[in-house]
C-alpha cells in the first residue's frame, strides 16, 4: 500500500549499499551482515497518549522519539542498528506539515546512528497522529543481551540519570546505541533491559525473567535534575528518588554484569563513546523480588512501580 507520501519520503532519502532493492518497491531487500543474527522490534506512538502535538512537542520531535524508542530496544539487546520501517497515520488537517516534521526528526536520528529508512506506509484520516517504527538490528550469534541471563553475584549498573523525563526528555530520547555497541564488543554483559516504563518496574521484569532478585542501594541511584525539578512542582508529592525509581521513559539501560566486567566498564566511563555516567547501583541475588537498602542502611522490599498499559487479558 504505497502512497504519495511514501513516494515523497523516498525521494528525499538516499540509497544505501546495504540495500539490494531500495525502498519504493513492494518491499525493501536488505543484505544482512555476514554471520550476524537479525534483531527485530516495533513500537507504536499515538497522539494523546505518548505525546501531545503543540508548542512543546513538534512533529519533528515525534519523528525523533518514534525512531529513538525502537533504537533503544536495539541498544538493550547489545545490537547494531541497521534499518527502520515507518508506518504513519497522518491527520488530514496539517498532514503535509506534520509529515515533513516527522521525516526531519526521523532522518536526523537515522543519520546519527547510520540507520537505513528502508520503507514505510502512510495513511491519512480525521484522527490523531499515529506512528509505528520497526527497527532492524544485527548482533553476533549467541551474543544478544537477553533479559533472562542475570546471575546471582552480578553487579547491576544503569546508564545516565533517572526520573522526571516528562519535563521533556521523554521526547528528546537519546538511545544508548553507541554505548551498547562499545560495551558489547569489549565486556561481558549477562542481561540488559531499557527503562521504558520505570526503573523499578523494568528492573523487576529483568529479575523475574532471570529467576533472580536484586539488592539496590538507594544512595547510589543516579537522580536526574529533572527528577528534582519535578518534585518541586506544585501538587507533586514525590521525592526526587521516588521519581527516579518509578518515572517511565528514561530510556536508559540497566545492565547485569560479572563484577570484573562491571568495574572495567566503570573505568572506561569518560572514554569515547561513553560520555554519560554509568553507575553501579546494586547486585543480583538468589531468590525473588527487589530489596532496597536505604541511606541509613536499613533494608526494605522495593515495590516495582511504573507505567502499566491497561489491558485485561480475556478469559480463555
Question: In the complex, what is the shortest distance from the CB of residue 102 to its own copies, in angstroms, rounded to a whole number?
Answer: 11
Instruction: Compare residues 181 and 292 and give the one whose CB is closer to its own copies.
Output: 181
Q: Would you count residue 148 as binding its own copies (CB under 8 A)?
A: yes
Could you give the maximum distance between any two Cα atoms of the chain, in Å? 62
2 binds its own copies (CB under 8 A): yes
Task: Tell me whether residue 136 or residue 302 sits nearer to its own copies (CB atom).
Answer: 136
Residues touching its own copies, count (CB under 8 A): 86
Residue 124 near its own copies by CB under 8 A: yes
DSSP string, 77-126: TT-EEEEEEEEEEEESTTHHHHHHHHHHHHHHHHHHTT-EEEEEEEEEES
User: Considering the rule CB under 8 A, would residue 173 count as an interface residue with its own copies?
Assistant: no
Q: What angle do CA 93, 95, 98 make, to 5 degrees?
A: 120
79 contributes a contact to its own copies by CB under 8 A: yes
Residue 311 engages its own copies in binding (rule: CB under 8 A): yes
Q: Based on CB atoms, which residue is closest to its own copies, 201 or 302? A: 201
Span 85-114, contacts to its own copies by CB under 8 A: 85-90, 92, 95-97, 99-100
Looking at residues 255 to 284 of the shown chain, list those that interact with its own copies (rule: CB under 8 A).
none
Minimum CB distance to its own copies smaller for 41 or for 231: 41
Query: Cell numbers of 112, please?
Result: 546519527
Q: CA dihedral in degrees (228, 229, 234, 236; nearest 10)?
A: -40
Q: Give the binding range for its own copies (CB under 8 A) out of 72-80, 154-162, 220-228, 267-275.
A: 72-80
How far apart, in whole angstroms, are the C-alpha atoms of residue 209 and residue 149? 8
Q: Smallest Cα–Cα separation from 276: which of 43, 50, 75?
A: 75
CA distances from 30 to 142, 219, 264, 312 (A): 22, 47, 36, 38
Binding residue (CB under 8 A) for its own copies from 30, 156, 218, 261: 30
* Residue 158 interacting with its own copies (CB under 8 A): no
As a whole number of angstroms, the distance between CA 265 and CA 273 comes to 12
Residues 188-247 close enough to bind its own copies by CB under 8 A: 192-194, 196-197, 205, 209
Amino acid at each position: 500500500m504505497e502512497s504519495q507520501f511514501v513516494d515523497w519520503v523516498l525521494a528525499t532519502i538516499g540509497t544505501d549499499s546495504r540495500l539490494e532493492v531500495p525502498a519504493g518497491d513492494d518491499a525493501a531487500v536488505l543484505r544482512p551482515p555476514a554471520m550476524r543474527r537479525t534483531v527485530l522490534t516495533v513500537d507504536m506512538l499515538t497522539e494523546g497518549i505518548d505525546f501531545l502535538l503543540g508548542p512543546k512537542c513538534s512533529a519533528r520531535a515525534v519523528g525523533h522519539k518514534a525512531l529513538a524508542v525502537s533504537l533503544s530496544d536495539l541498544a538493550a539487546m547489545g545490537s547494531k542498528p541497521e534499518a527502520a520501517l515507518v508506518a504513519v497515520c497522518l491527520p488530514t488537517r496539517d498532514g503535509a506539515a506534520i509529515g515533513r516534521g516527522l521525516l526531519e526528526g526521523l532522518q536526523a536520528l537515522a543519520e546519527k546512528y547510520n540507520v537505513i529508512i528502508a520503507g514505510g506506509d502512510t495513511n491519512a484520516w480525521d484522527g490523531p497522529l499515529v506512528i509505528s517504527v520497526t527497527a532492524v538490528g544485527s548482533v553476533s550469534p549467541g551474543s544478544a543481551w537477553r533479559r533472562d541471563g542475570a546471575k546471582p553475584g552480578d553487579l547491576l549498573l544503569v546508564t545516565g540519570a533517572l526520573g522526571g523525563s516528562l519535563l521533556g526528555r521523554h521526547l528528546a530520547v537519546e538511545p544508548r546505541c553507541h554505548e551498547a555497541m562499545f560495551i558489547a564488543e569489549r565486556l561481558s554483559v549477562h542481561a540488559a533491559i531499557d527503562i521504558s516504563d520505570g526503573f523499578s518496574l523494568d528492573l523487576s521484569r529483568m529479575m523475574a525473567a532471570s529467576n533472580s532478585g536484586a539488592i539496590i542501594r538507594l544512595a547510589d541511584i543516579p537522580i536526574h535534575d529533572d527528577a528534582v525539578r519535578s518534585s518541586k512542582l506544585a501538587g507533586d508529592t514525590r521525592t526526587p528518588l521516588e521519581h527516579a525509581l518509578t518515572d517511565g521513559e528514561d530510556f536508559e539501560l540497566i545492565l547485569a554484569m560479572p563484577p570484573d566486567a562491571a568495574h572495567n566498564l566503570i573505568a572506561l566511563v569518560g572514554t569515547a563513546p561513553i560520555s554519560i555516567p554509568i553507575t553501579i547501583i546494586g547486585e543480583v541475588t538468589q531468590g525473588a523480588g527487589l530489596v532496597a537498602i536505604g541511606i541509613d542502611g536499613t533494608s526494605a522490599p522495593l515495590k516495582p512501580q511504573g507505567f502499566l498499559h491497561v489491558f485485561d487479558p480475556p478469559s480463555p
